């Protein structure tokens, strides 16, 4: 087998090797059918079994209540930025948005095409390095939208924002879905692009409460209404069958590794190890405020762009790939989603120490 290297990519991101090996077999012949997963009809029994299993594993992993639909939608999380207000916001209505980074801003821009947006909180004043506490909700918002983990800026909500009674909470959980326990019943809808903790890019997992589906604008094109997906098992058109298969296998892997409690322990250990080193370092500093730090994307700098660049180059040459920070933050970003392993973190922290010793 071609050997693998340590992948810090923010997304598409590393996946569990066991799942990739299973998928490799399924590409040739799915569960002994003699036909590969990419070749099976989405209407046939073999794929329907894959679909049913994926839905049931997602429900089990996320403890998704019965009054929520589990939908697979295409177009990436970015289409959800538009589909959400298209369905639930009209010209004379207002939605509250928490602006905590580049992805929140894109969600806001799309919502502004359809109705009024109240930016209830923002951390833009300090380049999004913290999760804002001062939140001003509007009186009658149709919904409240937030981004649970800010992939680019390395910040994460420790818990969901405290919204007014009866508010419909909507979350873009693209970069921390299923990384820790979640109480789905607190949300009207949760959506997540697949390419970090679930599997493939392009496919979005949507968990949405029944009444919200019914409430959506019925005049939209069919492919832009949640009810089309809800009433057709996400198969109004040909669904991304391989992605659905892979999400199912990733959820199976999550369950085999302790479920969401197991993921939370694993992620906390890795992130603590890296932040502890950064906090004790005389060369590197983490960029996010301590109480806002992400366990999924750790952003850090040396303060000298030339040393940052030398660090990234040396890391790459040693097989630590994808560490260059996003241009809006600079420095480095280590994306350490569920599938990123503890032994990979041990090796990385060892390298950080060696690099530091050579540069201070």
Ligand X SMILES: Cc1ncc(COP(=O)(O)O)c(C=O)c1O
Q: Based on C-alpha coordinates, what's the Rg of the chain?
A: 21
DSSP H or E segment with residue 18: helix 17-28
Least CB distance to ligand X at residue 104 (A): 8
Which residue's beta carbon is nearest to the bound ligand X?
76
Q: Pick the piece of the chain touching ligand X (CB under 6 A) from 24-32, 44-52, 167-175, 232-240.
A: 167-175
Is-catalytic flag, 196? yes
259 binds ligand X (CB under 6 A): no
The only residue of 100, 156, 174, 228 in contact with ligand X, by rule CB under 6 A: 174
Instruction: Determine the Cα–Cα distance for residues 310 and 317; give it in Å rounded to an integer.
Output: 11
Catalytic residue among 96, 105, 172, 176: 172
CA distance 158 to 175: 14
Q: Describe the crossing of helices 45-62 and 259-280 by its angle, rounded to 10 degrees.
A: 60
**103 lies in the site for ligand X, by CB under 6 A:** yes
Contact indicator for 241, 37 with CB cutoff of 8 Å: yes
Q: Which is nearer to ligand X, 78 or 281 (CB)?
A: 78
Instruction: Note if 324 is an active site residue.
Output: no
Rounded CA-CA distance 237/235 in Å is 5
Output 329 or 352, the one with its CB closest to ligand X.
329
Closest CA to 123 of 290, 326, 288: 288
Asked if 11 is part of the footprint of ligand X (rule: CB under 6 A), the reply reads yes
DSSP states of 156-214 = E-SS---PPTT--EEEE-TTTTTSS---GGG-SEEEEETTTTTS-SS-EEEEEEHHHHH
Is there a catalytic annotation at residue 103?
Answer: yes
* Crossing angle of helices 259-280 and 342-359, rounded to 10°: 10
Given 151, 234, 241, 267, the residue binding ligand X (CB under 6 A): 151
Q: 175 or 302: whose CB is closer to ligand X?
A: 175
Which span sits near ligand X by CB under 6 A: 112-120, 168-176, 323-331, 332-340?
168-176
Selecting among 96, 105, 176, 196, the annotated active-site residue is 196
Residue 121: both structure tokens together? 């909180």
Q: Which one among 96, 142, 172, 344 touches ligand X, defined by CB under 6 A?
A: 172
176-195 residues near ligand X, rule: CB under 6 A: 193
Residues 64-83, mask of contacts with ligand X (x by CB under 6 A): ------------xxx-----
- Nearer to ligand X (CB atom), residue 196 or residue 249: 196
Of how many residues is the chain composed? 360
Buried/exposed code over 277-300 (b: 16+ C-beta within 10 A; e: otherwise): bbeebebbebbbeeebbbbbbbbb
Residues forming the active site: 103, 172, 196
Q: Which residues bind ligand X (CB under 6 A)?
A: 11, 76-78, 103, 147, 151, 172, 174-175, 193, 201
């Amino acid at each position: 087998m071609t050997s693998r290297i340590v992948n810090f990519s923010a997304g598409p991101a590393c996946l569990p090797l066991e799942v990739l090996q299973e998928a490799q077999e399924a590409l040739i012949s799915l569960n002994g059918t003699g036909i590969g997963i990419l070749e099976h009809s989405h209407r046939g029994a073999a794929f329907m079994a894959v679909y049913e299993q994926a839905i049931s594993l997602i429900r089990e992993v996320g403890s998704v209540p019965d009054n929520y639909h589990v939908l697979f939608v295409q177009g990436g999380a970015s289409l959800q930025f538009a589909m959400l207000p298209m369905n639930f916001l009209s010209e004379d209505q207002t939605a509250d948005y928490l602006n905590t980074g580049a992805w929140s801003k894109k969600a806001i821009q799309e919502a502004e095409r359809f109705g009024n947006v109240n930016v209830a909180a923002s951390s833009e004043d300090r380049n999004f390095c913290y999760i804002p506490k001062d939140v001003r909700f509007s009186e009658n918002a149709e919904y409240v939208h937030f981004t649970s983990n800010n992939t680019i800026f390395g910040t994460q909500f420790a818990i969901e924002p405290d919204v007014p009674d009866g508010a419909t909470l909507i979350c873009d959980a693209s970069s921390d879905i299923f990384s820790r326990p979640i109480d789905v019943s607190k949300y009207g809808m949760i959506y997540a692009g697949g390419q970090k903790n679930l599997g493939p890019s392009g496919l979005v997992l949507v968990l949405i409460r029944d009444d919200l589906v019914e409430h959506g604008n019925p005049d939209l094109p069919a492919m832009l209404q949640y009810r089309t997906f809800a009433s057709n098992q996400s198969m109004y058109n040909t669904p991304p069958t391989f992605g659905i298969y892979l999400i199912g296998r990733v959820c199976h892997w999550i369950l085999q590794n302790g479920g969401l409690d197991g993921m939370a322990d694993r992620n906390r250990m890795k992130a603590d190890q890296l932040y502890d080193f950064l906090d004790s370092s005389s060369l590197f500093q983490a960029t996010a405020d301590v109480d806002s730090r992400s366990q999924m994307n750790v952003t850090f700098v040396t303060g000298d762009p030339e040393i940052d660049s030398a660090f990234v180059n040396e890391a790459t040459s040693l097989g630590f790939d994808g560490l260059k920070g996003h241009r809006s933050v600079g420095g480095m970003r280590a994306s350490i989603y569920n599938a990123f392993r503890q032994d990979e973190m041990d090796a990385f922290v060892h390298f950080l120490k060696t690099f530091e010793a050579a540069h201070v």
